[in-house]
Structure 1
Amino acid sequence: MYDVNAIRAQFPILSREVNGKPLTYLDSGASAQKPQVVIDAITRAYSEEYSNVHRGLHFLSNLATDKYEGVRDIVKTFLNAPHEDDIIFTSGTTEGINLIAYSWAMPRLQAGDEILISVLEHHANIVPWHFLRERMGIVIKWIDCAMDGSLDAQAVIDAMGPKTKLVAITQMSNVTGTRVDVKTICAAARSRGIASLVDGSQGSVHGPVDVQDIGCDFYPITGHKLYGPSGSGAIYVHPDRQAEMQPFMGGGDMIDVVARDTVTYNKPPMKFEAGTPGIVQTIGMGVALDWLMNVGMDNIAEHEADIATYASAKLQSLNWLQVQGTAPDKGAIFSFTMAGAHAHDLSTVLDKRGVAVRAGSHCAMPLMEHLGVTATCRASFAMYNTKEDVDTLVSALELCHDLFA
């Protein structure tokens, strides 16, 4: 049995008040709260176990190294990657995608080559490709979603052409909660010799992930969305693609031998991890992923699906609220607008009721333009949210309607 109250009890911040009201936290799509086990692990790592990794032979350095490197196996298990060496540590998905842009795409692509992306993408999966467009003449090819937020996998496949070198697609939209059939897309890409990147920032949070089943070449995740610390993350890279990559950051750990006239590089994944890493952040991410797997990603997915169904019905019943994105099987992420009120005004009023939502373009300006809006409010539900949280949101929205009507 999934006991959401027992889950909530493990998150200290959920017991606090905001503006004299119990906190209703609906901004996990931006960053999730942290369970006590992660907070304790971070405190312990700094207060009792801290040292730099890989470079020392003393007790604390060995302990920190063992804990840090042990997270690689945890991420491997979490993503069902074939081997722990397929996992490269990053500061999050943004760094992971930039790593692929600089280390894999830049050395291999040339002017006129195409990178295929959808209008659902977060800026982190858009801007690095614009860098290549500006600097190398790479062509960005866009696929639009339907007005309900759904993305037709066949439309993505049909857009693949002889010049397409990479398909970079989100697994779940951070704005609409749309789930994308990335397995079908990746299979089609692989059959055509096209590399595939699946942005797992949202998809990895809301259900089990199997990168071998998806069949992608690159799959980045972000620790702070997975109930771990900010500044932590990882990316799965298929070994065939790792062999094609060049390091784009130089420094300690990523080298083998440095001489006056030559340099040789370490083996992957160390080849792509220059300098002192986010040691404690990575250790905290490992604890968070272990904790999530103990709860059960299938259990989390089932709970969130129930919340999504309930929230969808409640929000759709407000005929003065415009929900952006109603694709079938969407996740528990809801963006909405209200006539006569800017999203920032809505967010401010909701905050006065203790309801934390995000307002703005959500780092997805092309999607905002496609939907015909400049900004939305976004309520993103997580493993610790309840139907009572939905009711609190709806009650606060009714107050907003009374104020702005």
Structure 2
Amino acid sequence: MLLARVLARVLGEGQLTIIDAGGRPHKLVGARPGPAVTMRIHTWWTGIRLALRPRLAFGESYMDGKLTVEDGDIYDLLDLLGRNIAAIDSTPLVRWSFALQRILRWLEQYNPVGRAQRNVAHHYDLNDQLYDFFLDRDRQYSCAYFTTPGESLEQAQIDKKRHIAAKLLLKSGQRVLDIGSGWGGMGLFLSRQFDVDVTGVTLSREQHAVSSRRALEGGVADRVRFKLLDYRQESGRYDRIVSVGMFEHVGAAHYVEYFTKVKELLADDGVMLLHSIGRMEPPGGTNTWLRKYIFPGGYSPALSEVLAAIEKVELWVTDIEVLRLHYAETIRHWRQRFQVNRERVKQTAGYDERFCRMWEFYLAGCEVSFRYMNQMVFQIQIAKRQDAVPLTRDYMTEVERREGTVPSMAAE
């Protein structure tokens, strides 16, 4: 079996048994001990596709039920492959796919105003109930901040909002712009805790409806408003700008355009906090399956290409923090919650078995990518002037202590 021969060369840790379409088992044992998983391939063509186009075929085959996992689940399989990813990525076919992605990435990440909205709608305008089945109560759909081992998802997301607020150095009455405002949680938090006026912009119709309703029901619609608008169409001047989990949808070809707009919108003494998924390696491409089914037009940038764009626009980078395993822990909570509510997703939200298998693969794959691969999260504090924030970082801890969070044991 071609797939078994390919994986036998790269499996250094753990044990994988592949049952082919004819029912024959192929047992692969790595040199180092590790988890043991059994996967079943239901058609001969699926086995060929998995060997030749693994980055697309694994997800599609699992979605279609042509690949199933025995003695475990899809996370166990992807976890095993993730532990061996360095060797897998060194194979000729995978190296070739990486090279092709680098060539095509500018086309794949082309996100002008209209196309950007369609890409956002693909993921964020799904049945609104879906997100209640795996996110925290505030619907924070981005990396949480775990200040202590074993912290709950709810608390870690509150701590994330406090951590970001501390870097914004907020003062009562300031005008804040939230680029990619989601379901409104960040904007509502900043307004409530720091007495600031917030404007949020989003391209998702569902998110806009929910966030606007939350502001109205909370009695703060006069100082927290949300617009269904591309950030490039926003005008005015803001004392602070925050953007959490939106930059991944900008695309490398638009980074200079993005920071040029930020500079235009930011007051002369203003501060911005950019929170985004990134990669700890040189620029590359987006996983083929993830781009096709989950985040069309999406891309996790290397710090080098983000900083180059900021430099071209002549903005100051006043602080950078890299969060490593925080997102792996966040997604672990999401994945477990989704599994608990899997039948409710089908019965209440109206999605079928193929959708649930797609979402399982998405969450499991993303967790593994943050746990073993090249993915991380960065926070960049940006300003027009070098004296816009204090010369030391003590003020961040002071704000977090005052607000109830002192990250004394931050997880990696």
TM > 0.5: no
Greater RCO, 1 or 2 (C-alpha within 8 Å, sep 6+):
1
TM-score range, shorter chain: 0.3 to 0.5
TM-score, with length taken from structure 1: 0.34
TM-score, with length taken from structure 2: 0.33
